[in-house]
Chain A
């Protein structure tokens, strides 16, 4: 059990609780339980496998592959991503939203495994909202990044593959990944198409860019990455975060 802020994580207890009665997972036993509250308070985290060496071989591929980027400039923070979700060699979905707003001034770009990112963003949004209700103020971006990093820590070494970039209104960009990295920076690009995006960004990126120049630079960087990377493609989602909140635009790439 570890403590992140004032929220205690009972993950160890959940592991014990979830396997009772000769190894039968508890949620298979339909209600003969004395407390309805315990039963309704469902296990909301997946439990990491107790034995790391024995993993079941999966007969299906999961979605992976992406280009996302974020950078800060004088007018705010830009977050951009492609919209392709690939599973093995197939395009599972051509219109996925890889940039998700957590609240009006915080946006997170996701890359890695699609399901992992979707669920972990949901868990993060819930924890941030609970913090806001308990402490009557919003968690800072650094605090949110730290919270996420600590929540992911028990899953280090497992197959969870999550690489998120938190982009927030106080002009901060923090990269958090399931390997345990938590880095603050001015520009990040994540995913299989990131080398190509970095190439375009490094040429033109300056603090003094105007809003339109920054938007078109981000769009160009993602477009060039989708051109060269097979696992990125389809459209470009773009978010601009300022002190007033986030603003979103979707661009199609034409023939990509």
Chain B
């Protein structure tokens, strides 16, 4: 769909005056909004996303979560262009099956992250417009979060926010989970209940200030017992 949103640089004001004839080209990308967040704890990981699917000024769906379960210990959150998110998750599922059949074991979170990096870089010159965050448990049972850029650069983190409200949420997570920029505060390790509550609060704030985030929040909590999902309502306006 021809959308001026796809052409402008994010964050820059567009000048509203006649700048001469502009060639309108077909853009293969669209921006469908959505925010994804992942937090790694001592023995758990949380991946959360909102469920709004939008395009331009419209909302296509209020129930389109962006967390996808990959294995019993790994969940991926993908936000950006919904078409690329769907194709990318299909490709990852197929590669997981191939690995299981060739190697007779499930892929670990670190292996999935490394594989996704090469999948994304294989399309370096026509990238998947997807911001990925993988959350899961590593081989030792500790929480792991891997965050990606659209072309495959990745890094293991303790927490990361991606998607349309990421610039608002990341500083808040730096402060509350990383205890950054605070003086005289005790570095208490994060418990699972506190982390889930923090994630809910953070998304409520994101829905207030970001138009592309809202409707509902899907939280996936990954522990060695398995993956538990909960849905929390958010602002629908």
Query: Footprint of B on A, CB under 8 Å?
Result: 27, 30, 40, 42-44, 46-49, 55-63, 85, 87-90, 92-93, 95-96, 113-119, 158-160
CA distance A43 to B94 in the complex (A): 16
- Residues of A near B91 (CB, < 8 A) are 27
Q: A40-B102, A44-B118, A59-B31 are in contact. Are A116 and B94 (CB under 8 A)?
A: no
- Per-residue CB contact flags for chain B residues 25-45 toward chain A (1 = under 8 Å, else 0) read 101110100000000000000
CB <8 Å contact, A116 and B124: yes
CB <8 Å contact, B11 and A89: yes
- Residues of B near A118 (CB, < 8 A) are 117, 152-154
CB <8 Å contact, B129 and A43: no
Q: A62-B150, A160-B124 are in contact. Are A88 and B102 (CB under 8 A)?
A: no
Q: In the complex, which of the residues A30, A48, A114, A119 contacts B94, with contact meaning CB atoms closer than 8 Å? A: A30
Q: A40-B102, A114-B149 are in contact. Are A158 and B125 (CB under 8 A)?
A: yes
Q: Which 6 A-B pairs have the closest CB atoms?
A: A115-B153, A115-B151, A114-B153, A46-B124, A49-B125, A119-B121
B47-100 residues at the A interface, CB under 8 angstroms? 80, 91, 94, 98
B24 to chain A, nearest CB (A): 12
B216 to chain A, nearest CB (A): 26
CB <8 Å contact, B7 and A115: no
CB <8 Å contact, B118 and A119: yes
CB <8 Å contact, B155 and A46: no
CA distance A65 to B184 in the complex (A): 33
A90 to chain B, nearest CB (A): 6
- Residues of B near A119 (CB, < 8 A) are 117-118, 121, 152-153
CB <8 Å contact, A63 and B149: yes
CA distance A57 to B5 in the complex (A): 12
CA distance A89 to B125 in the complex (A): 22
- Residues of B near A115 (CB, < 8 A) are 120-121, 124, 149, 151-153
CB <8 Å contact, B153 and A60: no
CB <8 Å contact, A87 and B149: yes
CB <8 Å contact, B126 and A62: no
A-B contact count (CB 8 A): 88
Interface size class of B (residues with CB under 8 A): 35 or more
B2-30 residues at the A interface, CB under 8 angstroms? 6-7, 9-11, 25, 27-29
CB <8 Å contact, B11 and A92: no
CA distance A85 to B80 in the complex (A): 20
CA distance A48 to B122 in the complex (A): 10
Q: A56-B126, A57-B7, A59-B6 are in contact. Are A92 and B149 (CB under 8 A)?
A: yes
Q: In the complex, which of the residues B29, B117, B124 contacts A59, with contact meaning CB atoms closer than 8 Å? A: B29
B132-180 residues at the A interface, CB under 8 angstroms? 147, 149-155, 157, 167
CA distance A21 to B118 in the complex (A): 24
CA distance A93 to B166 in the complex (A): 12
The residue on A at minimum CB distance from B152 is A115
B118 to chain A, nearest CB (A): 7
Q: A55-B125, A58-B127, A118-B117 are in contact. Are A63 and B153 (CB under 8 A)?
A: yes
A202 to chain B, nearest CB (A): 32
- Residues of A near B31 (CB, < 8 A) are 59
CA distance A46 to B122 in the complex (A): 4
- Residues of A near B149 (CB, < 8 A) are 62-63, 87, 92, 114-115
- Residues of A near B117 (CB, < 8 A) are 118-119
Tell me if B123 counts as interface (CB < 8 A to partner A): yes
Q: In the complex, which of the residues B27, B121, B129 contacts A60, with contact meaning CB atoms closer than 8 Å? A: B129
CB <8 Å contact, A90 and B167: yes
The residue on A at minimum CB distance from B28 is A56
- Residues of A near B167 (CB, < 8 A) are 90
- Per-residue CB contact flags for chain B residues 100-124 toward chain A (1 = under 8 Å, else 0) read 0010000000000000011011111
CA distance A91 to B57 in the complex (A): 28
The residue on B at minimum CB distance from A46 is B124
